[in-house]
């Protein structure tokens, strides 16, 4: 069998902005985090501009894009406001996520199958603008088929359930979920859709996911920023990169 293709690491820097916003000033600056990620071999920056601007703010996008040559993956809800912002900033990629105002983080994947008519014009306009669209979905054949109908070039498979089952110590559940993710990645790749994954990934749980050969990118945020408090962002990203590389 041929070696798996390289696996990119996209670092989500939202929670640098969460800490900044806790005091309302400029420190710590997510732009500095983006520069550090670039300097230690991260492959991309991910940032979620939420409707309530609880972490990343509009001007951060422009500043991040100006400060680093790493591709920016903008996570966004499927709304007119976010579409307009994406078309104005033209990030490398836009990952469409479901967004509920009251949630603490993105819970559950996008219902690409149930929301086809709402999503189709948004995906179409992003595609036309040359922005690489990704749909954040559950690892489920029905959702991948929906992504194909929407002509999305990328899907990001939600690993939140996998991560939670691990925290609950449910080894059988973890295995089942891992297989669902691996099957979904294989189905996507077979149909010409690039497969990414993310949510809740840590040093402890990343390797079985990173070993799935069809996955091309992982997006990881909260854990890396949390670890950075103790060991620094450079080391936190480096360790994740090493763990990922060990299983490719």
Is the CA virtual torsion 29, 30, 31, 33 positive or negative?
Answer: positive
Q: Which residues bind ligand PXP (CB under 6 A)?
A: 12, 14, 48, 75, 95, 97, 105-106, 136, 156, 198-201, 219-223
- Kindly name the residue from 99, 196, 199, 217 that is annotated as catalytic: 199
Do residues 213 and 189 make contact, with C-beta atoms less than 8 angstroms apart? Answer: no
The Cα-based distances of 155 to 18, 22, 188 in angstroms read 26, 32, 8
175 part of the active site: no
Longest Cα–Cα distance of the chain, Å, equals 53
27 part of the active site: no
89 part of the active site: no
Q: Which is nearer to ligand PXP, 2 or 107 (CB)?
A: 107
- Kindly name the residue from 15, 48, 55, 196 that is annotated as catalytic: 48
Q: Which is nearer to ligand PXP, 43 or 156 (CB)?
A: 156
Angle at 148 between CA 145 and CA 153, to 5 degrees: 135
CB of 160 to ligand PXP, least distance (A): 7
Q: Which is nearer to ligand PXP, 3 or 89 (CB)?
A: 89
Q: Nearest CA to 85 among 72, 96, 101, 74?
A: 74
Q: Which is nearer to ligand PXP, 30 or 200 (CB)?
A: 200
- Catalytic positions are 48, 75, 199
């Amino acid at each position: 069998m041929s070696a798996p293709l390289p696996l990119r690491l996209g670092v989500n820097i939202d929670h640098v902005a969460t800490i900044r916003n806790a005091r309302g000033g400029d420190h710590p600056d997510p732009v500095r985090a983006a520069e550090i990620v670039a300097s230690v071999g991260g492959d991309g920056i991910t940032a979620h501009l939420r409707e309530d601007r609880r972490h990343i703010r509009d001007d951060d996008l422009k500043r991040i894009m100006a400060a680093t040559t790493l591709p920016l993956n903008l996570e966004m809800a499927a709304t007119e406001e976010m579409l307009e912002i994406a078309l104005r900033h033209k990030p490398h990629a836009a990952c469409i996520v479901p967004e509920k105002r009251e949630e603490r983080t993105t819970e559950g994947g996008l219902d690409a199958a149930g929301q086809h008519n709402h999503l189709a014009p948004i995906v179409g306009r992003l595609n036309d603008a040359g922005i690489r669209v990704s749909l954040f979905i559950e690892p489920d054949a029905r959702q991948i088929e929906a992504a194909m109908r929407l002509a999305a070039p990328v899907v990001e498979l939600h690993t939140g359930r996998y991560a939670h089952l691990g925290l609950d110590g449910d080894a059988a559940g973890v295995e089942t979920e891992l297989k669902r993710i691996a099957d979904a990645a294989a189905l996507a790749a077979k149909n010409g859709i690039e497969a990414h994954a993310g949510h809740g990934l840590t040093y402890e749980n990343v390797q079985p996911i990173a070993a799935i050969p069809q996955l091309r990118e992982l997006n990881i945020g909260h854990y890396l920023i949390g670890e950075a408090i103790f060991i620094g962002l450079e080391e936190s990203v480096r360790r994740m990169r090493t763990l990922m590389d060990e299983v490719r």
